[in-house]
Amino acid sequence: MRLSLAIPLLLSALATAAGAQPPSKWEDFDWNPQPLAEDVILPMPCDGAMAFRRVDTPTAPNWLADTGLQMGNSDVSGQEHSESLLPDNITGGLTKTGPDSRYYLLGKYEVSRRQYQAVMSDSCPRGDDEAALPAEGMSWLDAQTFAARYTEWLYTHARNALAEAAGEGSFLRLPTEEEWEFAARGGLAVNDGALRKKLFPMDGPLEDYVWFAGFKSCDGKVQSIGVLKQNPLGFFDILGNVQELTAGLYRLRTREQLHGQAGGLVARGGSCLTAEARMRSSDRDEIAPYDDKTGAPRGKVFTGLRLAFGAPILSSAERISTINEDWRVSGEMRLPLEPGQDPVEALGIIAEAEPDARVRDALLNARDLFQREMTQRNAVEGRSAASVAQGGMLAVRSYLLALQDLANSRELLASNPDDRDFRDYVARAEERRQLTENVLLAGIVHAAEDFSDQTYSAAAHVVAQENEARLAGMRARTRVSTMRMHDLFGQFVGTYRKHPDTDPQEFLNQIEALRVELSQLQD
């Protein structure tokens, strides 16, 4: 053996004998214990890896367009100042084709201890019994440093993989509260009604999906990542285990908006210290960023992180020019009036106070033109609301028929349990029920959010009168069932308007009760 080769081998053997062993292989349970289709995988230092999930936020083809998001919940007794309902907006910062297909990437799991050490330590961590536990207790500055170092490593060692996953110029950071909550609630994987519920849809008890305080769950001890079931978007432990740091500062909520004062840090999602009854997607915790005795950056136990990918908005001169044009066009759009505003009257008052006759005449002409347009607009809006009310009644009817079809198919299967055709019949009936449910719930959201209470109520009243006239010569059962379906949809809209996070199952249960009621009616 040549001396130049023998010396390094000898030094390597001595180092191994002294305990300086090479890093152990990463097992799946260290970083991705439950692989899913469409996972986005990026490498890490020390031959590690991290899994991300894509969250789509499609919009109109306009850089200023975004997606509405209902933050918070209505049933947060004692936490209204922090978790009450707040209309907000969200749009991902990543796109490969244009503004209408924006998305963001969010960590599939909480960052594990081994992943955190692989970036933050001077030497590669070895796998052990605690490698898959979530990293916790880091300061907000340490979390930012972790994201910055990992970003730099990707640019140096895996730039092509980074560009393929998130695009050129992207970077790792903590998620915004909006990004975190939209993903936690299930994003576009759930319907509008489910998106506003206290918890994302679960096929089983809470302890199958969430680590919380108590003997039947984590009982005050953090658990390895990815042991439980995922939420509808494929995120694990997004509620419970450790609460997760976000990018912004804590702000109170008034009845209408965020309060103007900025406070400490924000952690979301609850932890192993959160009671089962308190667990919800709206949970927020304020954390002081510095120790109140020493002034040193501080963390908090049972508080970890989950990384997101972001990107600059003003990324090129061409992008800036397009955004400016989008802004100009947006000024030409008709915006809804604030409640109580009367622009026609306001223009008249301004005109009467104008000393210049030419300007006064121009304002009065503008008032008259605006009044004509508003009259036409209100008529169109009224017809649209009437169509929605009528469509809602038909959606209730379709769901009733789907329920009855499902009940009939189950009776047939019960009497012929081994018949494959009957099993297929039940499966198809359940699919139809699910489809009609989605249409119904979307109609409730549309009616409540896109029309004022006054506009919708007036239109629904007109529809009720028209139906009463049309049904005058029909069977009593038809008249009663039609009006009950119309009234029921109106009740759903009113309930949703006041409590947008109402459990959709409450609506569906009322329709089931109506089905039973109607089955007992005589012609």
| CATH code of the domain containing 183 | 3.90.1580.10
131 and 252 belong to one structural domain: yes
303 and 389 belong to one structural domain: no
Instruction: Categorize the per-residue pLDDT at 344 as very low, low, confident or very high, splitting at 50, 70 and 90.
Output: low
Domain-embedded: residue 164: yes
Domain boundary among 277, 293, 317: 317
234 and 127 belong to one structural domain: yes
Here the tokens at position 34 are 């439950």
Domain-embedded: residue 282: yes
Nearest to 309 by CA among 120, 138, 66, 96: 96
Residues contacting residue 282 through CB under 8 Å, at least 6 positions apart: 71, 72, 73, 76, 83, 181, 198
107 and 246 belong to one structural domain: yes
Q: What percent of the chain has pLDDT over 70?
A: 90
Q: Cα separation of 246 and 292, whole Å?
A: 21
Residue 155 contacts residue 172 (beta carbons within 8 Å): no
Full residue range of the structural domain in which residue 256 is found: 28-317
Q: What is the pLDDT of residue 417?
A: 83
Q: Cα separation of 52 and 367, whole Å?
A: 54
Q: What is the pLDDT of residue 520?
A: 76
Instruction: Categorize the per-residue pLDDT at 455 as very low, low, confident or very high, splitting at 50, 70 and 90.
Output: confident
Q: What are the CA-CA distances from residue 453 to residues 153, 365, 462 (Å)? A: 54, 31, 14
Predicted confidence (pLDDT) at residue 14 exceeds the cutoff of 50: no
Give helix 420-450 / helix 357-415 axis angle, nearest 10°.
160
Nearest to 281 by CA among 101, 95, 79: 79
Window from 95-109, 123-137, 270-284, 396-410 with minimum mean pLDDT? 396-410
Domain-embedded: residue 163: yes
Q: Cα separation of 118 and 107, whole Å?
A: 16
Q: What is the mean pLDDT of residues 343-347?
A: 67
Phi, psi of 471 (to 5 degrees): -90, 0
Q: What is the pLDDT of residue 296?
A: 97
Q: What is the pLDDT of residue 444?
A: 92
Number of domains into which the chain is organized: 2
How do residues 41-82 score in pLDDT, each as one tens digit?
A: 999 999 999 999 999 998 888 898 888 888 999 888 899 999
| Collapsed DSSP state (helix, strand, coil) of residue 253 | strand
Predicted confidence (pLDDT) at residue 110 exceeds the cutoff of 80: yes
Here the tokens at position 228 are 């439980």
283 and 402 belong to one structural domain: no
Q: What percent of the chain has pLDDT over 90?
A: 54
Domain-embedded: residue 365: no
Domain-embedded: residue 327: no
Looking at every residue in the chain, the average pLDDT score rounds to 87
Q: Cα separation of 84 and 81, whole Å?
A: 6
313 and 393 belong to one structural domain: no
Unique residue bearing structure tokens 């109580």:
340
Q: What is the pLDDT of residue 10?
A: 32
Q: Residue 114: how many CB atoms within 10 A of its CB?
A: 27
Domain boundary among 268, 290, 317: 317
Kindly report the CA angle at 36 between 31 and 37, in degrees rounded to 5? 135
Predicted confidence (pLDDT) at residue 15 exceeds the cutoff of 50: no
Instruction: Categorize the per-residue pLDDT at 343 as very low, low, confident or very high, splitting at 50, 70 and 90.
Output: low
42 and 147 belong to one structural domain: yes
Q: What is the pLDDT of residue 301?
A: 97
Residues contacting residue 456 through CB under 8 Å, at least 6 positions apart: 385, 388, 389, 447, 448, 493
Q: What is the pLDDT of residue 336?
A: 46
221 and 132 belong to one structural domain: yes
61 and 155 belong to one structural domain: yes
Nearest to 310 by CA among 452, 462, 172: 172
Which residue type sits at 440? Answer: L
Phi, psi of 271 (to 5 degrees): -150, -170
Residue 396 contacts residue 515 (beta carbons within 8 Å): no
Instruction: Categorize the per-residue pLDDT at 341 as very low, low, confident or very high, splitting at 50, 70 and 90.
Output: low
Q: What is the mean pLDDT of residues 151-162?
A: 97
Q: What is the pLDDT of residue 425?
A: 86
Q: Cα separation of 49 and 99, whole Å?
A: 30
Tally of helices (H runs) and strands (E runs) in the chain: 15, 11
Residues contacting residue 63 through CB under 8 Å, at least 6 positions apart: 99, 313, 319, 322, 323, 326
410 and 303 belong to one structural domain: no
Window from 171-175, 300-304, 432-436, 473-477 with minimum mean pLDDT? 473-477
Domain-embedded: residue 328: no
Domain boundary among 317, 346, 369: 317
Unique residue bearing structure tokens 């030409």:
332
Domain-embedded: residue 447: yes
Instruction: Categorize the per-residue pLDDT at 150 as very low, low, confident or very high, splitting at 50, 70 and 90.
Output: very high
Report which of residues 461 and 108 the model is more confident about: 108
Q: Parallel, antiparallel, or unpaired for β 303-304 and 243-249?
A: parallel
Q: What is the pLDDT of residue 22?
A: 53
Domain-embedded: residue 23: no
Q: What is the pLDDT of residue 111?
A: 98
Unique residue bearing structure tokens 């997101």:
308
Q: Cα separation of 76 and 504, whole Å?
A: 18
260 and 165 belong to one structural domain: yes
310 and 451 belong to one structural domain: no
Nearest to 270 by CA among 87, 90, 76: 76
Predicted confidence (pLDDT) at residue 6 exceeds the cutoff of 60: no
Q: What is the pLDDT of residue 423?
A: 85
Which residue type sits at 254? Answer: T
Predicted confidence (pLDDT) at residue 338 exceeds the cutoff of 60: no
Here the tokens at position 159 are 């730039």
